[in-house]
Structure 1
């Protein structure tokens, strides 16, 4: 019997993607042979059994203002602690950031994200960062390197690992960095009031990093004022799917998803 992969019909592929082939020398012990390139055409492999894998990009539905923060339970690689939404219930507001290690747009803002969050956490803001990138496409975004990153930059917030990517989908997160600001309004859970950019700065536009857009929204929430509904998106643009997986495009890093659909054939 051979295993053959079929891309789920609901996914949208930007371009032809590479197929990778694993050879299981001992099916019971999962002894993998060396990884090698394989043509794009999916064929039924000969014995021994091979597992055909293709990487695909999916886009989650964007979060909408007024929606409620979804429940989650995620580990923090640096400490091993498992965090949930309930851990932040005592705070008047919660900032959820979807980031990762490799994204140049996150790198561009990283030090200023630390400064801004340090400032507002001292004033009562709860902050959590989540990485949902697939380690199949970006191994440098894995938990070991997340822990090193959090320690190196002295993250004052927990940096959590969303291995299944379910939490990213639940929040409607599709890119990095992505900022979602929630407020406590007497109901549970938090209500989304800001889903926008850090500021106008980008790695290539020479605009100074100020954190103006996000800080103004946080100021309003912590002072009990409404946040304007007109908000600039965190980033805008396209990403390109290259032979080596999902890469950064002109102005956005998509959260890379790897989806498997196994079809057994004789």
Structure 2
């Protein structure tokens, strides 16, 4: 299990790329349809990554809490399901239920949305403001599957607090770390590798 840092290159204040993607049941969701009044957390995730599994329950709890503040959550899986069938849409619904993800979990079959966000790893976190512009990209917290630090979402919670208080976006962020997105052969983005 190699840690892959995000190679995030979108900049704070930049309009986030839109999308229209299906959930596990085939219902389509656009960025506009999932946006929260105060902000939106976009998470690139998958079912099998130990880094995602490590944070999954706390992500579900935080999403429920943020919803009351006007910040919505959406997760997107872009992994190649030919090589990683455990990440297929039918398994996504089971994963979401197991970890209390009461928010849309979408499938990016073409991997183009992951590329448009410059997502590199799972999990990769992108917090948008109420206008759909990037406010924060970075890690959830310092916890990792093989360290003893608590899963508390500290870094993301600070960013959400700052967003809700209309504070300027911090430039001192740590990139997300996790497993690399499983790109389809020949579909690897230029920023990968």
TM-score range, shorter chain: 0.7 to 0.9
* Counterpart position of 1:122: 68
Larger Rg over CA atoms: 1
Paired residues in the alignment total 182
Match of 1:55 in 2: none
- What does residue 75 of structure 1 align with? 22
Structure 2 unaligned regions, length at least 5: 1-5, 188-193
1:42-121 alignment, distance < 5 Å: 62-77=9-24, 79-89=25-35, 91-121=37-67
List gaps (5 residues or longer) in structure 1: 1-58, 236-251, 262-266
**How big is the shift at 1:150?**
1.5
CA deviation profile, 1:138-167 (whole Å, cap 9, x unmatched): 110001101111222231110000011011
CA distance in 2, matches of 1:199, 1:94: 18
After TM superposition, what 4+ stretches of structure 1 lie above 4 angstroms from structure 2? none
Match of 1:255 among 174, 177, 181: 181
TM-fit CA distance, 1:89 = 4.7
| TM-score of the pair, normalised by structure 2 | 0.88
C-alpha RMSD over aligned residues: 1.8
Residues 137, 63 of structure 1: CA spacing in aligned structure 2 closer, same or farther, 3 A cutoff?
farther
Q: 1:89 to 1:206 in 2, by over 3 A?
A: closer
**Cα distance in 2 for residues equivalent to 1:92 and 1:143:** 29
2:149 is equivalent to residue 207 of structure 1 = yes
Question: Which residue of structure 1 aligns with residue 88 of structure 2?
Answer: 142
The question of 1:156 aligning with 2:102 is answered yes
More helix by share: 2
Matched-pair contact (CA < 8 Å) for 2:12–2:169: no
CA distance in 2, matches of 1:104, 1:152: 15
Tell me the secondary structure at the aligned position of residue 96 of structure 1.
strand
